[in-house]
Amino acid sequence: MLDIEFSELSDPGLVRSRNEDYVGHVVPESPSQARSHGWVFALADGVGGQRQGEVASRAAVQEVLAGFRRAKAGTSHKDLVTQLVQAANARVCESEALSGHLGPGMASTIVVCALRFDRATIAHVGDSRCYLIRSGDAKPVTRDHTMVADQVRLGLVSAEEAAESSQRHILSRSLGMNLFVNIDVEEIQLLAGDMLLLCSDGLHGAVAATEMAEITRRHRDLAAAAQELVKRANEEDGSDNISLQIIRVRTVERVGMYRGRPYKLR
């Protein structure tokens, strides 16, 4: 059976009076539920400068967690995380409509990671990220949905120019922007010893991936690793909220897939 340990932490940073990030998770209650449903982790970053960003991020994560709990046993995680993020988008749009305000409204990023057997399925919108940390190396699983990142992918600007751009934080996709949102979904096979790091841009914008990998490698206690990562982000910048979830894979249950259904490998 897949066996994991995790820690999560959210910090307002050194400048902002409010924390517009929100994190949450659902843990299976039994070994049979670990196989039928698995785990889910969700992290959202309410868009700074928009009205009630903290309401948007909380609504998005709570919608994902509630939908995961309601999911039928054995539902494909790839289909499920797509449905959950679309539902989160609808919830943010609904929350904005119910607020009765005019003008630019609520918006949020989101990254969702569902785990079962020997796989992680990651869905995201915006610039909150998921990293796979394997053999001491941290590589992003997600790609940022920002105006500048899109320009880099099109070859219009270099990565170095993008890193210095004053527009690097402007999102090209977010929850609440439209009634339907385009979602990126990735599935990765897990190995024992792997770690997954979900984080808002308050962390990855301040701390290099190499340092994230080093800090998580150095700490057996994931709570201590989370605290050091937040500390480093505040030391390097601290102008934004900082949120993260660290997941360490202890063991996996190796399976094959046939028509979307798992089967035991002999």
- Is position 19 within any domain? yes
The dihedrals phi and psi of 10, each to the nearest 5 degrees, come to: -135, 135
Say if 185 falls within a structural domain.
yes
Nearest partner of 224 among 9, 4, 22, 14, judged by Cα: 9
In Å, the largest CA–CA distance within the chain is 59
* pLDDT tens profile 181-211: 999 999 999 999 999 999 999 999 999 999 9
- Is the model's pLDDT at 143 over the cut of 90? yes
Domain housing 179: 3-257
Instruction: Specify which of 116-125, 158-167, 252-261 reaches the highest per-range mean pLDDT.
Output: 116-125
Helix 53-70 / helix 77-99 crossing angle, nearest 10 deg: 140
Lowest mean pLDDT among 50-54, 231-235, 241-245, 259-263: 259-263
Closest CA to 59 of 16, 26, 15, 106: 106
Rounded mean pLDDT, 79-104: 84
- Whether residue 103 is predicted with pLDDT greater than 70 in this model: the reply is no
pLDDT (tens digit, 9 = 90+) per residue, 1-47?
A: 899 999 999 999 999 889 999 999 999 999 999 999 999 999 999 98
In a domain, 104, yes or no: yes
- Say yes or no to pLDDT of 50 above 50: yes
Q: Is the Cα torsion angle 63, 55, 173, 129 positive or negative in sign?
A: negative
What pLDDT, on the 0 to 100 scale, is given for residue 264?
A: 63
Q: Residue 153: which pLDDT band, with cuts at 50, 70 and 90?
A: confident
Going by C-alpha positions, the residue among 173, 187, 181, 50 that lies closest to residue 114 is 187
176 torsion bin: left (phi>0), alpha (psi -120 to 50), beta (else): left
DSSP assignment of 11-32: E-TTT-SS--EEEEEE--SSHH
pLDDT value at 104 more than 60? no
Residue 265 falls within a domain, yes or no? no
Q: Give the mean model confidence (pLDDT) for residues 124-135.
A: 97
**Which CATH number characterizes residue 216's domain?**
3.60.40.10
pLDDT band at 170 (very low <50, low <70, confident <90, very high): confident
- Measuring CA to CA, which residue among 195, 189, 186, 212 is closest to residue 249? 195
On whether residue 179 sits in a domain, the answer given is yes
State mean pLDDT over 156-169. Answer: 65
At 62-78, the pLDDT tens digits run 999 999 999 999 999 99
* Residue 7 is assigned to a structural domain of this protein: yes
Considering the chain, what percentage of its residues have pLDDT values greater than 90?
75
Q: How many angstroms separate the CA atoms of 72 and 75, rounded?
A: 6
Tell me if 57 is assigned to some domain.
Answer: yes
What is the total count of domains within the chain?
Answer: 1
Indicate whether 263 belongs to any domain: no
Stronger pLDDT, 172 or 256, i.e. the higher one: 172
